[in-house]
Structure 1
Amino acid sequence: MHKLITELSEFDAIVLANGEYPTHHIPLSLLGLCHNVVCCDGAGAKYISNGKMPLAIIGDGDSLPSEFKKKHQEIFHHIAEQEDNDLTKATRFIMSQTPARSIAYLGATGMREDHTIANISLMMRYYKEYHLMPVMITDYGWFIPTSGKQVFETFPRQQVSIFNFSCKHLNSKGLRWNSYAYQQFWQGSLNEAIDKTIEMDGDGEYLMYFTFDAKK
């Protein structure tokens, strides 16, 4: 069963992206608990300014002052190639350094909308191609890429969205509106849990979103 994301959720590593810095108490607590935090470029400066020290800072360095890069040269890893973005570069770094499989992605939304969409879509890539268990956590909830039959811990009136990637059938139990193999992303959005669990059954991959708070 996929458990609710709380302040005590455990991850092998965290990637902190250079979007809007987390303000919700859950992602902030997770940042304080995890020892393997890798920052994407400018997020490293934000993280250090908040009194923390990351395992590494990954990127092309275009959003970091020269003085900062020199001061933290032992943990700054310059990767100039532009085929992948900094989120993927940080993910590859973690995979090369640790056996981590469960990775939380924070600070990956906000600011530019194109970056937000790209980062969310990468969760499915990391799940399918890298065989990771990624979770993107925002100030409002979290995204989980998955496939097949799955059970998720929920609570009544928790808001849930389902984004179908490759399912030809996609059934559910425990949602206010039963799911199906949505043809468009918007069709599976804005659903709602009615009890303490929901069950999903699909024949392909799909992306789930859950809110921290119940709908009032």
Structure 2
Amino acid sequence: MNIDFDCVIVANGLFPSREEILIYLSEVPALVACDGAAESLLSRGFKPTAIVGDLDSLPEEIRYSSVCEVRYSEEQMTNDLTKAVHFAHEKGYKRILILGATGLREDHTLGNISLLTSYIDLFEQVEMMSDFGVFIPMKTSRTFKSQKGQQISIFCITPQVEVTTTGLRWEVTNRRFESWWQGTLNEAIGTEFTISVEGEALLVIYKAFVDCK
């Protein structure tokens, strides 16, 4: 398997179960756990290279062990996922995959999805994956690979920006998405699709896995 990422960050949401996702946890060069996810990783046999957060969810036997680097941050204006992302940036990683950031509490899920757009400028590539699909943030016009029939949703964080699509079943031309639901539940008609915006925008594109319609 070709590993496209040099760092995986695992948050304390729904732990992935798809085999093709779990491979990343054992093959990626760096595995960073938000403090609440460290125990889940270790119990499944995955050893993180670092644990980052305010450590309020980290058992003491892990906190004071020598299993890996532990980075404590008492900052309360950001969540543990963002602390882990900034840690990865400081370490020089370029291609980031975030796991375990969705599922369980819906408020955490929505917050983590919206945070993706604030990570764009820190890395060459950043994606968030679950058992059901992948979220990809974007700022400028971009073409995405797809499969025919793949379910696609567009979430616009900057509603004042006009969006145009090509390669989707229900095309959009110079439309402003004023609510998150308005760009959802579209479908790819081929092997790629393009999202075009004027200037810079903040969008999150969701591509469902083809077996999760």
TM-score (norm 1): 0.89
Partner Cα distance (1:104, 1:72) in 2: 25
Shift in Å, 1:8: 3.3
Counterpart in the other structure of 2:187: 192
Higher alpha-carbon deviation: 148-157 or 136-145: 148-157
Partner Cα distance (2:111, 2:7) in 1: 21
Write out per-residue CA displacement over residues 85-116 of structure 1, whole angstroms, 9 at most, x where no aligned residue: 1101111111112x222211000111111111
2:168 matches 1:171: no
C-alpha contact (below 8 Å) 2:151/2:208 kept by paired residues: yes
Higher alpha-carbon deviation: 138-147 or 166-175: 166-175
2:84 matches 1:90: yes
What percent of counterpart residues are identical? 37
Change over 3 Å in CA distance of 1:74–1:24 after alignment to 2: closer
Counterpart in the other structure of 1:104: 97
Partner Cα distance (1:211, 1:14) in 2: 20
Shift in Å, 1:83: 1.2
Residue among 116, 123, 134 paired with 1:142: 134
Write out per-residue CA displacement over residues 31-67 of structure 1, whole angstroms, 9 at most, x where no aligned residue: 1220211000021111112212111001111112212
C-alpha contact (below 8 Å) 2:3/2:28 kept by paired residues: no
After TM superposition, the structure 1 = structure 2 runs for residues 5-154 of structure 1, keeping only pairs within 5 Å, are 8-72=2-66, 74-97=68-91, 99-128=92-121, 130=122, 132-154=124-146
**Runs of 5+ consecutive residues of structure 2 not aligned to the other structure:** none
Counterpart in the other structure of 2:204: 207
> Any idea what SS the aligned residue of 2:210 has?
strand
C-alpha contact (below 8 Å) 2:89/2:123 kept by paired residues: no
Residue type at the aligned position of 2:203: Y
Residue type at the aligned position of 2:207: F
Change over 3 Å in CA distance of 1:61–1:105 after alignment to 2: same
Shift in Å, 1:160: 0.1
2:156 matches 1:159: no
Shift in Å, 1:154: 0.6
C-alpha contact (below 8 Å) 1:159/1:214 kept by paired residues: no
Residue type at the aligned position of 1:35: P
- Structure 1's consecutive aligned runs of 4 or more residues displaced over 3 angstroms after TM superposition are none
Q: Calculate the aligned-residue CA RMSD, in Å.
A: 1.8
Residue type at the aligned position of 1:159: Q
Shift in Å, 1:131: 5.1
Change over 3 Å in CA distance of 1:44–1:215 after alignment to 2: closer
**Runs of 5+ consecutive residues of structure 1 not aligned to the other structure:** 1-6
